[in-house]
């Protein structure tokens, strides 16, 4: 199809996004395995529409959906239309939508059936012939994780993992592995067929604008980097709180839990970007080398240390957003004796020259008081308070708060004098908000990531060695929790800030930031 570049009204009127580039993308065929699944429905297909809407798709773009359901191209196109109308962040433009749908094809079949790959091969060759040139190929695996190795090996066997004169890439959704051993195995299975440079392991947090802004904030400003170390920073808190339960995902969540679902990937990525050394360039491997280095400086806990540095809990009944909700153990599909955690908090140390002695606290949970993802860097107190006797009660250590969502932005808390005759101080905030500074809505993470995979830019994807380092930190905690089958799993009321047990990780003189 020919993608249309249609500027929305707000884009046309918005001088602040002047200079936004449309990055060139070579002609591409995108194959989505699991194209009728929930992720495709809610995120991938709407993201494709938004790329088409702003003219970011390659001039020649073809797509094939692969899934088990038996249906014709037209049924698939109707399904895609419905996904886009329901979940696109922009109201679809009829012409752009029709253009995008018109060439979408569908291949039904189970993922271990050779026929599927034969048919895919034929369709891809046909695209190439029609275009008069070989199209780049992107295979997007949005299926249940047990199919990842199956699909990779079948693509290899059908000689679809390489293409003369065009690039072939494979995008693999999370979860990449279930623990350290299975992640290693999966890496080996995928790398048996594809080169590392062809493999794009997705972590959608890396596609969020504010997460990338973390690098801009650190490395495009002279203000922060001088204090970004153990001499000035007291501690770091990373929070990913959600005000939703597990929805209909008990089947997945029971086997996953908060540590695998959010900490091993999204939160540890935030930690890596926050603590890594400045890369020499923003080349994919230079950035990932630095992330790997810092992840390798986090010493995995020994089994005996886990109880002191990690807390797990489950939500009990409570009230969220004014609505009564049941506890985790009452959710459909959840074992009433389940020990799966819906909340996890950790205390980690980055043992290197820059960070030695600075504790990093992570917490995440379902059914908490509100949805917020933020990083809070708390500086050390000032060394001397000159106006101690005349009202410095309000003096608080400075904090740099990076809000990933909602209200994306950065704020710095400062001590300021309250107007009046006496020197009374209280914290005030200096703020930058995306919404007000750029007057534009941030693209969805998947828009950026799909585009990057099509362009072959792996900076925002997790490299094989990185995924192993991530699991290496988390694995001992999983094992210790798995081995402990008797101590009660703490409960927290739905709608609260989490379990009291998490407070002990911080020690007596620090507090979790209010949710």
Rama region for 310: left / alpha / beta (φ>0; ψ in -120 to 50; rest): beta
Residue number, 193 or 262, with CB nearest to ligand BG6: 262
How far is residue 319 CA from its own chain's centroid? Answer: 27
- Which 8-state DSSP code applies to residue 173? P
**Closest distance to ligand BG6 from the beta carbon of 174 (Å):** 6
Residue number, 242 or 466, with CB nearest to ligand BG6: 242
Q: Which two tokens stand for residue 240?
A: 């990913």
- For 193-251, the DSSP string reads TS-GGGEEE--GGGGSHHHHHHHHHHHS-TTTGGG-STTTEEEEEEEEE-S---TT-HH
Half-sphere exposure (Cβ direction) of 339: Cα atoms closer than 13 Å: 12
**Catalytic pick among 41, 266, 337, 384:** 266
Q: Which residues bind ligand BG6 (CB under 6 A)?
A: 242, 261, 373
Residue number, 209 or 242, with CB nearest to ligand BG6: 242
Half-sphere exposure (Cβ direction) of 457: Cα atoms closer than 13 Å: 17
Q: Which two tokens stand for residue 268?
A: 């540890």
Q: For residue 299, give the 3-state DSSP assignment.
A: coil
**Closest distance to ligand BG6 from the beta carbon of 469 (Å):** 19
Judging by DSSP bridges, how do beta strands 323-325 and 136-141 pair with one another?
unpaired
Respond yes or no: is residue 266 known to be catalytic.
yes
**Closest distance to ligand BG6 from the beta carbon of 263 (Å):** 11
CB 28 within 8 A of CB 135: yes
Residue number, 28 or 364, with CB nearest to ligand BG6: 364
**Closest distance to ligand BG6 from the beta carbon of 433 (Å):** 18
**Closest distance to ligand BG6 from the beta carbon of 280 (Å):** 30
**Closest distance to ligand BG6 from the beta carbon of 245 (Å):** 10
Burial 97-131 (b: 16+ CB within 10 A, else e): bebbbebbbbbbbebeeeebbebbeebbeebbeee
Q: Tell me how far apart the alpha carbons of residues 432 and 409 are, in angstroms, rounded to a whole number.
A: 5
Alpha carbon separation from 168 to 11, 26, 196, 337, 459 (Å, rounded): 33, 12, 12, 46, 17
In 3D, which of 349, 290, 363 has the Cα closest to residue 473? 349
**Closest distance to ligand BG6 from the beta carbon of 242 (Å):** 6
| Residues belonging to the active site | 266
């Amino acid at each position: 199809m020919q993608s249309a570049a249609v500027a929305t009204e707000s884009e046309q009127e918005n001088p602040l996004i002047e200079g936004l580039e449309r990055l060139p993308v070579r002609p591409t065929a995108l194959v989505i395995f699991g194209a009728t699944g929930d992720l495709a429905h809610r995120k991938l297909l709407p993201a494709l529409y938004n790329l088409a809407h702003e003219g970011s798709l390659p001039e020649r773009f073809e797509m094939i959906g692969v899934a088990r359901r038996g249906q014709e191209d037209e049924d698939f196109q109707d399904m895609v239309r419905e996904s886009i109308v329901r979940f696109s962040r922009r109201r679809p433009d009829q012409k752009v939508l029709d253009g995008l749908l018109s060439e979408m094809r569908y291949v039904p079949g189970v993922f271990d059936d050779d026929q599927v790959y034969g048919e895919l091969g034929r369709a891809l060759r046909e695209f190439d012939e029609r275009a008069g040139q070989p199209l780049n190929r992107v295979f997007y695996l949005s299926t249940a994780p047990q199919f990842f190795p199956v699909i990779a090996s079948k693509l290899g066997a059908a000689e679809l993992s390489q293409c003369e004169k065009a690039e072939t890439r494979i995008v693999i959704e999370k979860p990449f592995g279930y623990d350290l051993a299975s992640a290693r195995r999966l890496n080996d299975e995928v790398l048996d067929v594809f080169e590392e440079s062809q493999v794009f392991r997705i972590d959608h947090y890396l596609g969020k604008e504010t997460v990338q802004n973390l690098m801009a904030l650190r490395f495009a400003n002279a203000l922060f980097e001088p204090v970004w170390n153990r001499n000035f920073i007291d501690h770091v808190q990373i929070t990913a709180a959600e005000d939703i339960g597990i929805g209909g995902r008990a089947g997945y969540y029971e086997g996953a839990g908060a540590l695998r679902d959010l900490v091993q990937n999204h939160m540890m990525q935030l930690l890596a970007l926050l603590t890594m050394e400045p890369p020499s360039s923003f080349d994919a491997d230079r950035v990932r080398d630095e992330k790997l280095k810092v992840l390798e400086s986090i010493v995995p806990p020994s089994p005996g240390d886990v109880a002191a540095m990690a807390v797990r809990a489950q939500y009990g009944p409570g009230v969220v957003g004014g609505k009564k909700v049941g506890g985790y153990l009452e959710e459909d599909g959840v074992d009433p004796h389940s020990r799966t955690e819906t909340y996890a908090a950790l205390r980690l140390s980055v043992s290197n020259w820059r960070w030695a002695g600075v504790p990093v606290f992570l917490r995440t949970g379902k059914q908490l008081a509100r949805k917020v993802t933020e990083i809070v860097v708390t500086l050390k107190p000032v060394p001397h308070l000159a106006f101690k006797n005349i009202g410095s009660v309000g003096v608080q250590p400075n904090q740099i708060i990076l809000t990933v969502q909602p209200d994306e932005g950065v704020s710095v808390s400062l001590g300021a004098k309250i107007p009046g005759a006496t020197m009374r101080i209280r914290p005030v905030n200096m703020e930058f908000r995306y919404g007000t500074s750029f007057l534009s809505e941030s693209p969805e993470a998947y828009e950026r990531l799909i585009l990057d995979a099509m362009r072959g830019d792996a900076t925002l994807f997790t490299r094989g060695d990185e995924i192993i380092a991530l699991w290496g930190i988390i694995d001992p905690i999983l094992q210790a929790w798995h081995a402990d089958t008797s101590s009660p799993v703490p409960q927290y009321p739905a709608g609260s800030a989490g379990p009291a047990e998490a407070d002990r990780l911080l020690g007596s003189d620090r507090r979790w930031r209010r949710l």
